[in-house]
Amino acid sequence: MNRGLKERVLTENRLVRKHLARSLLDVFVSIEMTGQGVSFEQKFNYRHTMYQTLHLMHTIPTHREALSAVCTEAIINIESAQQPLFLRFINLLMNDSNYLLDEILKHMQELKQKELERANPEHPEHPEQQGVPPGAQQGVQAGLLPGAQPGVQQGVAGVQQAQRAAQEQEQEFRHVGMLARLYNQLGSETLGALEELTEGLFI
């Protein structure tokens, strides 16, 4: 859905103007409160769409007023036994910001370490350190016959093991890189939402 169509839905539908602000915050908070396991990738997909919608609402006066009303309600009921929705939402954003910062730093450090390992021929897991006997690589490429010499057979097994290890390391490297990108993007969107909500408009 392009931005123009989204703006039309947000501005022309009476029910959307009336209920979206509270419903969006309620769904956002409820994802954390279900008690069911939600993977990071799933949570990222949910949050990413919600942050986009929240950002667009921030540019539309009707929805800014609706969000402000939810905030005002939270201030009035701040001493209530049940924590107001807007306060739960802000607390969640702040907790997420701290968590995401820790995760970003951890994954970036892990990614840097893996880059150094990949580039260092002296590292024990580097293919050059696998101790492959001469002729083993040719055996892997050509395919061994049953009567191949034991030394070559062992060498081929070593090469194959090294190749499998290299593939696993590459997959792990890509996975860590993907998580680092996702955490960075979600962290940026979380801080962006906090910034928009603390510009003096609602708080």
Confidence band of 30 (pLDDT split at 50, 70, 90): confident
In this structure, are residues 128 and 121 in contact, taking their beta carbons and an 8 Å threshold? yes
CB 87 within 8 A of CB 75: no
Buried b (16+ CB within 10 A) or exposed e, 157-170: ebbeebeeeeeeee
pLDDT in tens, 100-157: 889 889 988 988 888 888 777 665 455 555 444 444 445 444 445 455 555 555 666 6
For residue 203, tell me if it sits in a domain: no
Q: Provide the whole-model pTM.
A: 0.69
What pLDDT is stored for residue 25 in this prediction?
Answer: 93
**Alpha carbon distance 106, 109 (integer Å):** 5
145 is a domain residue: yes
pLDDT cut 70: percent of the chain above it = 73
Q: How far apart are CA 68 and CA 62, in angstroms?
A: 10
Write out the residue range of the structural domain in which residue 153 sits.
Answer: 3-197
202 within some domain? no
Looking at residue 127, its pLDDT comes to: 52
Of the pLDDT bands very low, low, confident and very high (cuts 50, 70, 90), residue 38 is: low
| 94 found inside a domain | yes
Predicted local distance difference test score (pLDDT) of residue 122: 62
**Number of folded domains in the chain?**
1
The DSSP symbol for 83 reads P
Given this model, what pLDDT does residue 121 score? 66
Q: Which residue has the tokens 């009921």?
A: 77
Task: Check if the beta carbon of residue 69 is closer than 8 Å to that of residue 77.
Answer: no
Q: What angle do CA 98, 100, 102 make, to 5 degrees?
A: 70
The half-sphere exposure of 159 on its side-chain side, counting CA atoms within 13 A, is 18
Tens digit of each residue's pLDDT (9 = 90 or more) over 105-117: 998 898 888 888 8
Whether residue 174 is contained in a domain is answered as: yes
